[in-house]
Structure 1
Amino acid sequence: MTTFIHDVLKDLQNDNQNISELTFVLPSKRAGLFLKHQLAEVVEQTIFAPEILSIEEFVEDLAQIKSTSNTELLFEFYSIYIQLTKKEQADSFESFSNWGQILLQDFNEIDRYLIPQEKIFNYLSSIQDLNHWSLEEPQTDFIRNYLAFWKKLYGYYNAFSKHLLNKKIGYQGLIYRKAVNNLESYIKNNAKRKHVFLGFNALNTSEETIIQELLKNKLASIYWDVDRVFMDNKKHDAGLFTRQHKNNWPFFKQNPFNWIAENYSKEKNISVFGVPKNIGQAKHIGSILESLQKTNGSLKNTAVVLGDENLLIPVLNSLPLSIDALNVTMGFPLKSIPLTSLFEVLFQSHKTNSSLFYFKDVVKIISHQFIRPLFFIDGVDNAALIIQTIDKNNLVYLNKERLYKIAKSCDTTIDLLFSNWDNAISFALENIFKLILAIKANLDKEKASNLLQLEYVFRFNELFTELKRLNEEHQHIKDIATLFSVYKELLSTETLDFQGEPLQGLQIMGMLESRVLDFETVIIASVNEGILPAGKSNNSFIPFDVKLENKLPTFKEKDAVYTYHFYKLLQRAKNIYITYNTEADVLTGGEKSRFITQLELEGIHKINSKIITPQVPQIEKELNVVKKNSDLQQKLIEVAKSGFSPSSLTNYIRNPIDFYYQKVLKIREHNDVEETVAANTLGTVVHNTLEDFYKPFVGKFLTIEAVKKLKLGIEKRVTYHFKNEYKEGDITKGKNLIIYEIAKRYVNNFLDLEIKALKAGDQIKIIAIEADNDIEIKIPELNYPVRLKGKVDRVDECNGIIRIIDYKTGKVEQNQVEIAYWEDLTTDYKKYSKSFQVLTYAYMMNQSGAINLPIEAGIISFKNLNKGFLKFAKKESVSSRSKDALITIDTLACFEAELKNLIIEICNPEIDFTEKEV
């Protein structure tokens, strides 16, 4: 396969051109690299290399102006803006940057296409005057300011362009316009300089003017790379621009059009694969490359072209390990490297001028892979200490001083991370630079294994150095929020460049990097509508009809550019693999590109289309089973000797594997910081408050006056217990304040219920509060002692009947403390766990001799207080209305049988701990 560049060089050689004296102008620098490489293959003798320039470099040379970054242009533009705008009407830099970027793009387009500036800006102003929505007279200040903005656009443009020209810098459009202005003198001064333009397609008016003038003065030749199929089909967008140039340029009325090739119609192997998701595409590309390498022995003359840059890392991770030579033209976006997340959370935590830091931000920062090592001093992991203290004390917000106390040896690092930036930009940047140096110093300890991480740190140091320079020069950044905004703007344009063999092995590139280049095998990824082509987008102040009127490019022309690039890749290739995402990812994907449909409808090539589905093995969920070996059996004996609690037994009924983790292995769930008071914390507060209130009444009858007096101490005791349980969490605002008030309301309502019962004539005597029970039960089947233990919230005597009461702050209904069949107690946790618990309390107290039967046992639900005391009851059948609420010796005998069977099952070495399906 011969490439376009090779054919151009051969043609020049056959035309007896002195290649050393030519100036080659190409669409990109990368194309120039390939031209140098092909030059060595075409020219047989030693020569001086010709001058090879990208179009941007050539135009800069012509204009004698250097291009600068978008961010710097924005700073320069704001300087002009505030000079031309009254102080009280001027936007902040952060607000300005939102619309300033769009205006810069419009300035760029207007200049590149040589549109008369004053004319178009006045036209835009007139349109807005006609279109504005307010018909009121006189006009409001808002409308006046709105229309005044449009009238100022030409003034902004004029002052800004003059300012840039004075500094010898500019945006691309301004450089192009200046180059056109300098064209006449350039031609006079370079009368013998011969230019060769090759591989161009869509040209702006400036480029057309420059090239045509050089052609007219016989100082240039131009080579087009377009196929006859595209030229002859007047509706084919791949030839849209080239047809226009051929028909409209005066030069081609008398000179040949070089060239219209006939490569596209040649036989090609085209395969189109629909693959779900981006990762699926990356994996399939890896499979294609592996297959190609096995077949061909190498991947020379093979390119992977990514329509979506987000595929770069998945594709790199999916490459076969056997690939030895690789060149990645695309830069790796700096925003995607791990260090980005650190500065993101740092800026977020410092955006508000506060000395307090949210605990999640603190944990994220100190746990970050680049920061955690800085907290590891003398073998102590101070980051872990901070996290433990946050959890233990329920710290939702922390200040620097509190962090000092926890991690005493990390003052310097804490200062760098958590000193209040106080909207002082210089202080913030100084801290960031010191932090970068601290990270670098740590990485330097094992430099050989941290080279990539050091490269990350170096690139961020460069980025913040640029930020510092821009701000020192212009002083536009006034607060941390604006600094963060500008930082993100810079970050979005920065890349980490790969090192590789630019002319060897597999090539991975974006669509624009493929210009002028030809490959025998091409894999094009993400060929989805909305990606290739990008579709309708109009990030501009210039309306669509005004663009048409002034021959500015619209989305149609932008789509045609991508159509050309797409078909250009196919033109000389023999093996073509196209992948697209079959699944809708947010707003992109799911719909294959019109390019694929067009390929199928053309009928020129046979398209092999397949939908690829990843091989997903069916993984049946295996329930976790723990075998009861001798060691586990010994631990169960120890558990039995120390005592089963009602909650641990119901835990086993719910899921044996949870019982194993919590009771045998002693694994406790991690207690996260409670930003909002948790339900169990609320329950503990209410329980403890009632315990404080009723402890003094043990052995005494309650009176209305005594209970009323208790109500006076509700706020004090609830507050005390909240501080005790919720530690340093804040209960003074938000949801926590509401929960705090609910706790007081629960206690108050309970006391009201007590008063109501006393007024109704009930005689209530408190027998025990938070009664501890610890008994041994005889189980003949087990040859070791078994104990039961647990606390009963309250035992009282109401009108001569002893009641065992369990408090529940959640909602409980009467049917949850009723049973029909005893065996249900140990099989259905959801329905009968409440009944099991109250019966266990009754059983323990009876066995210990603390109470005499018959008794009542049940629950008081604080969310269902109007139902009063919910008594346990035994029914004859599920549907029976007849029920017995008294717990007698027969009741406990039936319960005891179920209880012992349950404990025997837990301790049985033949019955493994088997997870229950949830």
Structure 2
Amino acid sequence: MKSFIEQTLDQLLEEEKFNLSQTTFVLPSKRAGSYLKEVLKQKITQTSFSPEVWSTEEFIEEISSLKSIDNLQSLFKFHNTYKELTPQKEQEDFEVFYGWAQTLIYDFNEIDRYLIDADDFFSYLSRIQDINHWALSDPQTDLIKKYLSFWNNIPLYYQHFQQQLIQENEAYQGLMYRVAANKIENYLSNSKQNYVLLGFNALNNAEQKIFQTILKKERGQIFWDSDHYFFKDHFHEASLFLREYAKNWKLYKDNNPFKHLPDNYIQPKEVDIYGIPKNIGQAKQVAKILKTIPSHKLSKTAIILNDEGLLTPLLNSLPAEIQKINITMGLPLKETPLASLFEIIFELQQLSSDQLYYKPVIEILNHPFVLHKLGENSKQLQHNIHQENLVYLTKKQILAFSNEETKRIIGPILDLHNSPLKLLQTLTGFIQNLRLKNSSDYLLETEYLYHFHQLFIKIRNLIENNSPIKTISSLHKIYKDSLETESLDFSGSPFDGLQLMGMLESRVLDYENIIITSVNEGVLPAGKSSNSFIPFDLKKEYGLPTYKEKDAIYTYHFYRLLQRAKNIHILYNTEPGSLNGGEKSRFITQLEIESPAHNQPRKQFLNPYVPARKTTLKKIEKSPEVIKKLKSLAAHGFSPSALTTYIRNPLDFYKNYVLNIRDSNEVEETVAANTLGTVVHDVLEHFYKAFEGKQILKEDLLKMKNSIEDQVKIEFQKTYKQAPIHKGKNLIIFEIAKRYIFNFLNKELKEIETNELYIKQVENKLTCSISIPELNFPIKIGGKVDRVDSLNKNLRIVDYKTGKVQSTDLNLKEWGELTKDYKYSKVFQVLCYARMIFEESYFEQAEAGIISFKNLKAGFMPFKQVKNTEINKDTLNQFETQLKSLILEIFNPEIPFEEKEV
């Protein structure tokens, strides 16, 4: 089946009077123009001058002789109009102006493109606002006066804005269309060219006037790309505009050119509709579909992306067999990695304080571009921030940890800039510093940097002279809006390989295989949202497009794609919780109901394949290198916590102690439980260390109580470094630490009223050897005992716990359970301490237990073995038997480190 462009060229080339060199082709897009040139090259057999091929925008610009300006430039020029016509005392800040000016410029565009009489239109709009806001009430409030004044001033803004632009030989799109419509007759009289208008559908009034003038003066032809199936159906929106032209254009009333429309749509087609959750699901399904298409037919295949967010996952999902792909839509700059980096910088620049929250700083240092440039310097700086626990930090602190290269690259963006121009200068300098050596090896990354550099230069040029942008927040808004329209264009052959494009890029082009993604309500069509000050009824009155006309445009594009296609795949997102997801487009429902019987679509609901995960427990065999590491640990001394880690999960023991893999240091914003425990332990060590070998008296404890706050502050500064403890949750935890110690000292005071308490040891590091005949190398256990004291001459080995411990946690029924179940870890720990104390200073009997700060009422909770709290030599022998058994298991090369089920 021939494409629309091929059919049109064949028809033209058969005409005797057709002169190719004196013809200008006008098409809706540049891409369509490129395709026309390629087809024309294949069809022309004789030497000939190439015709002009223009897109609509280029043609309008040629007629109007005005230079086109973009939305951002329009905004700044309109602000000059606003300042000139508005008394200074009534002028709003640029940020407020920016909020409504964009919408107003959009409305100016619409009014001009549809050739509306502006004076009459704005007068009508002003009267509507009078009625809507009770303007006839007496007296009017200042708010109503100001509001109505705004609507009355709009005609003045409009006229002045237009005059200013025309004087400078510039125009926004709508103004260019209005000027072109007024100049078309003069333009044609000065031109010898004939015009071929191809593939248009929804024409604004300016385009209709231009095209009708060309046709009326017999200076060209127009070819409509539609189908008889749609045109004959008076309710089908795909032909809404063509039916209007057939009815209203004088040229068509007597001679209807729509009589001979082709019947391509009813030809046999394979139509498949897939409901798939999420974008990733759609991308994977597109890849599956592509695998079914022969490689020689890929150049006749197009993927239509209605959601640009699908571009990246789709590119990552393409089958390896696809060698060539041409991407027309471009990668939006906001989707590139650099966009997130500059967003962080803008947020830092809008802080009201020079105190920087650590997370954005870490994000900057961890960003791939910065990390690639700074390497180990970035990692070292992050390590220092974590080490010092800097939740809030200043530029001075950051630079103090930095080397010269880091200062050069990071330093400028950490300065708080009050001037937008200075910030833009800093950002362009920052991009220069991020430039990668051997850029040929990093082509894509270099393109990212280049496009952002261009964007900042463009904004800087706009605001350099007499700029209304005075604040960084205003600059940030301008930057974000500019980012929405900028894209990174891909290079590729539009005539070879798989074609990937947006819906609008597909205009006039035909493909055998079509894959359309994200066919969801709210995406295709886009819905009723409209950024306009003009009410719906006023748009209807003056013939401006409403959501109905916009839906008809989407309908036309969608069905035009299907006309000549043979294999059609339509995908939509079934996920109801996602944005623009869950509800399939009305176009799919329409296909299901109205398609010809022989072209009824096949429907499928798909879910991504998720392989079943086998919960196999990991095993690590004990190699000679592992045994060597274990011997080294044993010689140094296994800690009670290491041994209880093995009891809980041997694989964790392997990771933490054999491989020495520990959690990396992170900035601790809120005091963690282990930090609180460390602080409490360190305060009590400071208080009690001076009393080793002495009796504790009442005055000693009272003196300690008076020093609680100062000492807790000191210990927090040591452990929690420079993180704040004077506000928020940290202040509460600080008070909890004070309360724990205060309550503990009160308990001690009460205890010594009737008892004698002697302190023997405080936080002493101890080790002891364990003789195991089966092992021919030294085995030790070691650790730090919180406190050893004597209460009424009864020896006690005390371990502090800031968490909650119950007395039942220290009960042991059977010795054989001690090293099998982690719930006895506290028993195991205090018995380890008792064994070490026994090695250092022999004792006949003692008690070993825990004081829990969350359960102080329970007091000292001793280890119990069938109601017996006494620890003697027999008890320790029983314990040592279990300990030896555990250590032998650890060193047994036949028993791997096996993960335990949680």
What range describes the TM-score normalised by the shorter chain of this pair? over 0.9
1:441-460 pair list within 5 angstroms:
443=436, 445-460=437-452
Residues 326-359 of structure 1, C-alpha deviations (whole Å, 9 max, x = no match): 3221112122223333322222222225544433
Aligned to 1:388: 383
Amino acid in the other structure paired with 2:93: S
Deviation per residue, 1:254-295 (Å, 9 max, x gap): 12324522111111122223333322322332333333225x
Is the Cα contact below 8 Å between 1:75 and 1:474 reproduced in 2?
no
* Corresponding residue number in structure 1 for 2:747: 753
Q: 2:895 aligned with 1:903, yes or no?
A: no
- After the TM superposition, which residues 566-605 of structure 1 pair with which residues of structure 2 at under 5 Å, given as runs? 566-584=558-576, 586-604=578-596, 605=599
Distance of aligned partners of 1:300 and 1:669 in 2 relative to their CA distance in 1, 3 Å threshold? closer
Tell me, yes or no, if the aligned pair for 2:785 and 2:798 is still in contact at 8 Å. yes
Structure 1 runs of 4+ with >6 Å offset: 133-137
Cα distance in 2 for residues equivalent to 1:108 and 1:560: 20
1:534 paired residue number: 526
Shift of 1:205: 2.0
CA shift at 1:914, angstroms? 0.8
Distance (Å, rounded) in 1 between the aligned partners of 2:138 and 2:842 = 90
Displacement of 1:418: 4.1
- Is the alpha carbon distance of 1:88 and 1:862 closer, same or farther for their aligned partners in structure 2, counting shifts above 3 Å? farther
Distance in 2 between residues matched to 1:684 and 1:10, nearest whole Å? 87
CA contact (8 A) 1:404 1:414 kept: no
Of 612, 632, 635, the match for 2:629: 635
What is the rounded CA distance, in whole Å, between the counterparts of 1:397 and 1:696 in structure 2? 36
Shift of the alpha carbon at 1:520?
A: 1.9
SS of 2:520 mapped into structure 1: coil
Residue number in structure 1 paired with 2:347: 348
Deviation at 1:373, TM superposition (A): 4.6
Indicate conservation of the 8 Å contact 2:512/2:564, yes or no: yes
Distance in 2 (alpha carbons) for counterparts of 1:403 and 1:845: 47
Aligned to 1:302: 301
- On the 8 A contact 1:229/1:262 being kept in 2, the answer is yes
Question: Counterpart amino acid of 2:860?
Answer: F
**C-alpha spacing 1:724/1:599, structure 2 compared with 1 (3 Å):** same
- 1:355-405 Cα offsets, whole Å, 9 max, x none, are 4443333333233333335436xxxx3223212222222233444444444
What residue number does 1:280 align with? 281
Is the aligned partner of 1:827 residue 2:811? no
> Equivalent residues in 2 for 1:70-85 (5 A)?
70-85=71-86
Aligned positions, number:
898
| Alpha-carbon contact 2:246-2:256 (below 8 Å) kept | no
* Residue of structure 2 in register with 1:173 after alignment: 174
Separation in structure 2 between the aligned mates of residue 130 and residue 917 of structure 1, nearest angstrom:
73
2:853 pairs with 1:862: yes
Q: Deviations over 1:753-807 (max 9, x none)?
A: 2223344x34332222113332222334434332221222122233443332211
Q: Deviations over 1:186-205 (max 9, x none)?
A: 35545x64332221111122
Q: 1:707: how far off?
A: 1.0
**1:891 to partner: Cα distance:** 4.4
Q: Which of 707, 730, 735 is matched with 1:736 structurally? A: 730
SS state at 2:369 partner: coil
Q: Which moved more, 1:560-569 or 1:135-144?
A: 135-144
Match in the other structure for 1:367: 366
State the distance in 2 between where 1:153 and 1:863 align: 70
Q: Which residue identity lines up with residue 260 of structure 1 in the other structure? A: L
The alpha carbon displacement at 1:493 in A equals 0.9
Q: Which stretch of structure 1 is more off in the superposition, 555-564 or 87-96?
A: 87-96
What are the Cα deviations for residues 728-767 of structure 1, in whole angstroms up to 9, with x where unaligned?
A: 22333333333223222222222222223344x3433222
For residue 600 of structure 1, what is the amino acid of its counterpart? E
Q: Is the 8 A contact 1:421 1:427 kept in 2?
A: no
Counterpart of 1:778, as a letter, is S
Alignment of 1:151-162 (within 5 A): 151-162=152-163
- 231-240 or 722-731, which moves further after superposition? 722-731
Could you tell me which amino acid in structure 2 is paired with residue 350 of structure 1?
A: Q
- Corresponding residue of 1:880: none
C-alpha distance in structure 2 between counterparts of 1:143 and 1:899, whole Å: 86
Give the distance between the partners of 2:386 and 2:75, measured in 1 at CA.
Answer: 45
Gaps of 5+ in 1: 876-882
Distance 2:749 2:33 in 1: 94
Alignment deviations for residues 285-312 of structure 1 (CA, whole Å, 9 cap, x no partner): 2333333225xx3423222221222222
How far off is 1:499 after superposition? 1.4
Deviates more, 1:406-415 or 1:515-524: 406-415
Aligned in 2, Cα 1:664/1:324: closer, same or farther, shift over 3 Å?
Answer: closer
Distance 1:334 1:786 in 2: 62
Shift of 1:545: 2.9
Q: Secondary structure at the match of 1:49?
A: coil
Residues 260-279 of structure 1: matches in 2 within 5 Å? 260-279=261-280
Return the alpha-carbon distance in structure 2 between the equivalents of residues 488 and 510 of structure 1: 22
Residues 821 and 167 from structure 1, CA distance in 2 versus in 1: closer, same or farther, beyond 3 angstroms? farther
2:272 match: secondary structure: strand
Is the partner of 2:302 in helix, strand or coil?
Answer: strand
Q: Distance in 2 between the 1:125 and 1:313 partners?
A: 47
My pick for the range that moved more, 127-136 or 105-114, is: 127-136
How far 1:711 sits from its partner (Å)?
1.5
- In the other structure, the counterpart of 1:149 is 150
The question of whether the paired residues in 2 share the 8 Å contact of 1:763 and 1:798 is answered with yes
Q: 1:749 to 1:166 in 2, by over 3 A?
A: farther
Name the residue aligned to 1:245: 245
Deviation at 1:69, TM superposition (A): 1.2
Is 1:546 the counterpart of 2:545? The answer is no
1:791 match: 784
Deviation by residue 1:816-858 (Cα, 9 ceiling, x = unmatched): 33344444433332x33223222322333234335441x3332
- Give the superposition deviation at 1:227: 0.9
Partner of 1:409: 404
Contact preservation (8 Å) 1:353, 1:422 = no
Cα distance in 1 for partners of 2:305, 2:117 equals 38
SS of the residue corresponding to residue 684 of structure 1 reads helix
Partners of 2:817 and 2:119 lie apart in 1 by: 88
Instruction: Say yes or no: does 1:837 pair with 2:836.
Output: no
Matches within 5 A, 1:448-847: 448-584=440-576, 586-604=578-596, 605-759=599-753, 761-829=754-822, 831-847=823-839
Residue 694 of structure 2 aligns to a residue in which SS?
coil
TM-score, length of structure 2 as denominator length:
0.94
**Structure 2 match to 1:28:** 29
Counterpart residue identity of residue 698, structure 1? E
Residue of structure 2 in register with 1:422 after alignment: 417
User: Aligned partners of 1:149, 1:874: CA distance in 2, in Å?
Assistant: 88
CA contact 1:718–1:744 (8 Å) conserved in 2: yes
Other-structure match for 1:203: 203
Shift of 1:416: 4.9
* Inter-partner Cα distance in structure 2 for 1:342 and 1:697: 56
What residue number does 2:98 align with? Answer: 97
Partners of 2:349 and 2:219 in 1: CA distance: 59
- Return 509-518 or 429-438, whichever deviates more: 429-438
Partner of 1:233: 233
SS at match of 2:818: helix
SS in 2 for 1:270: strand
SS in 2 for 1:389: helix
TM-score scaled by length of structure 1: 0.92
- Contact 1:403–1:414 (CA<8 Å) still a contact in 2? no
In 1: Cα distance, 2:858 partner to 2:91 partner: 66
Shift of residue 470 of structure 1? Answer: 0.6
Amino acid at match of 2:462: L
Percent pairwise identity? 49
Aligned-partner Cα distance in 2 for 1:417–1:827? 59
Report how far residue 466 of structure 1 moved.
Answer: 0.4
Shift of 1:111: 2.0
Aligned partners of 2:870, 2:398: CA distance in 1, in Å? Answer: 58
Check conservation: 2:811, 2:827, Cα contact below 8 A: yes
Query: Which shifted more, 554-563 or 864-873?
Result: 864-873
Measure the CA separation in 2 of the matches of 1:825 and 1:138: 89
